[in-house]
A and B are shown apart, each in its own frame.
Chain A
Amino acid sequence: MSKILITLNGEQLQVESNIDLETLVDQLALPAKRLAVEMNGNVIRRVDWPQTTVSEGDRIEVVHFVGGG
């Protein structure tokens, strides 16, 4: 399986080519509830994660919630 380079939360990461967002989030061992994903500046709804594949150079942000004022 070939690898591609993406930026995930500001870090350069090598992932499998054609990986979808649902698999990516899964692989990061993140609790999927109350999480949101943005790809190249656009929010990707959870229902669309399985059909959204990642390409070379994509910038992805995966966020959750922490304490704040």
Chain B
Amino acid sequence: MSDTFTLANTTFCSRLIIGTGKYRSYDEMKAAHIASGAEMVTVAVNRVPLDGSAESFLDHLDPKMKILPNTAGCYDAQHAIRTARLAREALETEWIKLEVIGDSITLLPDNEQTLEAAKVLVKEGFIVLPYFTDDLIMAKKLLDAGCPAVMPLAAPIGSGMGVQNPSNLRIMREQLPDATIIVDAGVGVPSDAAIAMELGADAILMNTAIAEASDAARMATAMNYAVQAGRLAYLSGRMPKRLYASASSPIEGAIK
């Protein structure tokens, strides 16, 4: 059982946060959510269709899960701020996953606009969880702006490439020992999640890795284990890497 982590006075037992997008069916989504052990899920804000086809998506979520709205689809600070305010009004939550995207091909974050939006939203009392590139200097700025956690990407959203720059995460963990770091985006397989946790991440946020797996619920189970394993490994203190061998069995006393 992994140790707990606290974010804005809320304690979580699970260090896995998952999304609600791209699932083939509501049933698959619900099964995956249960299997993941996650206690918080992200949702997106969207215009209601005017043709009467609107479905009540939130009714398909386990009511025990905490809902974290995101500002996906926003390409500048103003849009993200407006989206966050709408989400707060509709869900009566101060929590917001702040996403301000720089370009539609890479979906890489616009760090500058993210910081600008974060400053405004923190002042308005939001609990801002910003998604950004894995950059130490930007992490410091976001934390100084009042974000209770930072969410560096492992790789582009939905790319499934895993942690592309482990050194950046290691540096961030070492230089910001008290910060809450949640790796968000780019995880593909459980080993990716384990690696991020071994590097010192406090939690992982993923969506596509589970939703696009052939068996989403099974993959969610695997992710659940991987996040726990990675966290235990981080707490256990890994052995050193060596260029040369270090024998595990006695050198003396073998028969000749």
Q: How far is the CB of B92 from chain A (nearest CB, A)?
A: 9
Closest to B49 in A: A9
Q: How far is the CB of B219 from chain A (nearest CB, A)?
A: 15
Contact of A65 among B22, B57, B158, B207 (CB under 8 A): B57
Chain A interface residue bracket vs B: 20 to 34
Cα-based distance from A61 to B28 in the complex (angstroms): 31
Using a Cβ cutoff of 8 Å, how many contacts connect chains A and B?
104
The reply on B252 being an interface residue by CB < 8 A is no
Q: How far is the CB of B194 from chain A (nearest CB, A)?
A: 20
Q: How far is the CB of B105 from chain A (nearest CB, A)?
A: 17
Contact of B50 among A9, A38, A45, A63 (CB under 8 A): A9
Closest to A25 in B: B48
The reply on B155 being an interface residue by CB < 8 A is no
Q: Is the CB of A65 within 8 A of B90?
A: yes
The reply on B87 being an interface residue by CB < 8 A is yes
Closest to B78 in A: A41
Contact of B47 among A31, A33, A63, A68 (CB under 8 A): A63
The reply on B72 being an interface residue by CB < 8 A is yes
Cα-based distance from A27 to B67 in the complex (angstroms): 28
Scoring A29, A35, A36, A69 by chain B CB atoms within 10 A of each residue's CB, the highest score goes to A69
Q: Is the CB of A64 within 8 A of B19?
A: no
Contact of A31 among B43, B45, B50, B56 (CB under 8 A): B56
Closest to A33 in B: B56
Q: Is the CB of A64 within 8 A of B50?
A: no
Q: Is the CB of A65 within 8 A of B45?
A: yes
Q: Is the CB of A63 within 8 A of B86?
A: yes
Binding site for B on A (CB under 8 A): 8-11, 13, 28-31, 33-36, 38, 41, 43, 45-46, 61-69
